[in-house]
Amino acid sequence: MIETWRWFGPLDDVTLPEIAQTGASGIVTALHDIPYGAVWPREAIAVRKAEIAAAPGNLHWAVVESLPVHEDIKRGEGDLSGLFARYRQSMANLAAEGIEVVCYNFMPLLDWTRTRLDAPLPAGGHALRFSSVEMAFFEVHMLGRDGAEADYPRDVLHAAASLDRTADEAERDRLLTAIMAGLPGAYARYDVAGLREALQPWAGFGADDLRATFRRFLDEVTPAAEELGLRLCVHPDDPPRPLLGLPRIVSNQDDIATALDMADSRANGLTLCAGSLGANPANDVPAIARRFAGRIHFAHLRNVAKEPDGSFQEAAHLEGDTDMPALIAALLDEEARRTAEGRADAQIPFRPDHGQALLSDLGRKTHPGYPLIGRMRGLAELRGVIAGLSYGGT
């Protein structure tokens, strides 16, 4: 397996020389400064690729995460021919620079959602957390979304009402900031009124509608990906459930099967995110990996600890609810199968996804969930599992 590391570009507080010291060789990044819907120029791709190659440690740009899908494409709104053409041109420019794996997601509005960015850990440090009670409090009492009560069980709504009576302005501001951290793009964020306005175009838009626009997206880009030798890989929903009245369509194995069947091509693949899928109690992540192994082009390896009310917290990589050795064994078996076929893409790139903020991570202004020490611990643990499973064959 190819060890990779997510880097948010020159503005990332974690530097390329630091990443080189973790032992990872592949960089997972994107041109985060380019607006959604615009072409990624080949020249800009080449500059970023050269910047990575010039760093110590023989680093290379291994995976694009993400080549974002414009919200108008997700809504199927207006004349989309220009947006699709520019997306295909960006793909062509990436392929021309030798980059073959492109991760993206099809989640409306928010890329991911947490309600706390610094949940304390028993031994010190902190982690990302999603609290169903805090999310219900936000949707029902702060946002005032019509119909939100129907999305939560009675005990969660009762606890959310209690929180509404006790939360001060500082706590409300902290919660809004945490939820807004999952917005895609550069640094634009909403206040409560702005979020209400941003949600308006999605009113009445359901899961079947989103599946229809996703199918259209795949029809538009998959043939080009095949010609270019690109492997597109959709990222699962995070968390894998509807939020804010927005539909989610890549949350479980049935969703994944539907998405992959929409374009039965190796160019239409999956980013196997153990943490996103692992937050759904119905998902057996190692079993999902084995079922869709042939279409997995990229893996995010992380773990979460789930709670009965739907809450979850980022766990250490070998802790939490997902059997990480069993998942890695499934990926190694797939690599062996590809190697036996003589495939050039036999090795699956993976990255230690997220990480608990530990030791000198505390106080650094890294992207939420992407500290240096916590991810390096995760990479070391995952590396050990891979070595152990590979000894003498899997």
Domain boundary among 152, 182, 202: 202
> Is 323 found in the same domain as 240?
yes
CA distances from 303 to 27, 297, 355, 393 (A): 21, 19, 9, 25
Domain boundary among 166, 184, 202: 202
Q: How far apart are CA 197 and CA 111, in angstroms?
A: 18
> Is 373 found in the same domain as 297?
yes
> Is 190 found in the same domain as 210?
no
pLDDT tens, residue by residue, 271-317 = 999 999 999 999 999 999 999 999 999 999 999 999 999 999 999 99
> Is 371 found in the same domain as 231?
yes
Mean pLDDT in residue range 367-375? 96
Domain boundary among 202, 222, 248: 202
> Is 138 found in the same domain as 96?
no
Q: How far apart are CA 285 and CA 312, in angstroms?
A: 16
Structure tokens of 191?
A: 């206040």
pLDDT tens, residue by residue, 89-124 = 999 999 999 999 999 999 999 889 999 999 999 999
Q: How far apart are CA 246 and CA 287, in angstroms?
A: 27
CA angle 79/186/50 to nearest 5° reads: 100
Cβ neighbourhood burial of 182 (10 Å; 0-12, 13-18, 19+): middle
Range of the domain at 66: 2-112+205-390
> Is 212 found in the same domain as 102?
yes
Per-residue pLDDT, 120: 97
> Is 220 found in the same domain as 188?
no
Q: How far apart are CA 29 and CA 8, in angstroms?
A: 6
Per-residue pLDDT, 364: 95
Can you say how many angstroms the Cα of residue 203 is from the centroid of all Cα atoms in its chain?
Answer: 24
> Is 124 found in the same domain as 105?
no
Residue 392 reports pLDDT greater than 90: no
Tell me the percentage of the chain whose pLDDT exceeds 70: 98
Residue 186 reports pLDDT greater than 80: no
Per-residue pLDDT, 188: 65
Q: How far apart are CA 270 and CA 314, in angstroms?
A: 22
> Is 338 found in the same domain as 288?
yes
Residue 374 reports pLDDT greater than 50: yes
pLDDT tens, residue by residue, 187-215 = 567 899 999 999 999 999 999 999 999 99
pLDDT tens, residue by residue, 22-81 = 999 999 999 999 999 999 999 999 999 999 999 999 999 999 999 999 999 999 989 999
**Region for residue 76 given its phi and psi (left: phi exceeds 0; alpha: psi -120 to 50; beta: otherwise):** left
How many Cβ atoms from other residues are within 10 Å of residue 15's Cβ?
13
Residues involved in catalysis: 235, 273, 300, 353-354, 370
> Is 264 found in the same domain as 184?
no
Per-residue pLDDT, 189: 77
Per-residue pLDDT, 266: 96
In the structure, what pLDDT confidence band is assigned to residue 185 with cuts at 50, 70 and 90?
Answer: low
How many Cβ atoms from other residues are within 10 Å of residue 325's Cβ?
15
In the structure, what pLDDT confidence band is assigned to residue 182 with cuts at 50, 70 and 90?
Answer: confident
In the structure, what pLDDT confidence band is assigned to residue 394 with cuts at 50, 70 and 90?
Answer: very low
Per-residue pLDDT, 393: 57
HEC string for the chain: CEEEEECCCCCCCCCHHHHHHHCCCEEEECCCCCCCCCCCCHHHHHHHHHHHHHCCCCCEEEEEECCCCCHHHHHCCCCCHHHHHHHHHHHHHHHHCCCCEEEEECCCCCCCCCCEEEEECCCCCEEEEECHHHHHHHHHHHCCCCCHHHHCCHHHHHHHHHHHHHCCHHHHHHHHHHHHCCCCCCCCCCCHHHHHHHHHHHCCCCHHHHHHHHHHHHHHHHHHHHHHCCEEEEECCCCCCCECCECCCCCCHHHHHHHHHHCCCCCEEEEEEHHHHHCCCCCCHHHHHHHCHHHEEEEEECEEEECCCCCEEEECCCCCCCCHHHHHHHHHHHHHHHHHHCCCCCCCEEEECCCCECHHHCCCCCCCCCCHHHHHHHHHHHHHHHHHHHCCCC
- Reply yes or no: is the peptide bond before residue 360 cis, omega within 30 of 0: no
Residue 229 reports pLDDT greater than 50: yes
Contact 80, 217 (CB under 8 A): no
> Is 306 found in the same domain as 273?
yes
Mean pLDDT in residue range 12-31? 97
> Is 170 found in the same domain as 234?
no
Q: Give the CATH number for residue 80.
A: 3.20.20.150
CA angle 163/157/138 to nearest 5° reads: 55
How many domains is the chain partitioned into structurally?
A: 2
Structure tokens of 27?
A: 């960089």
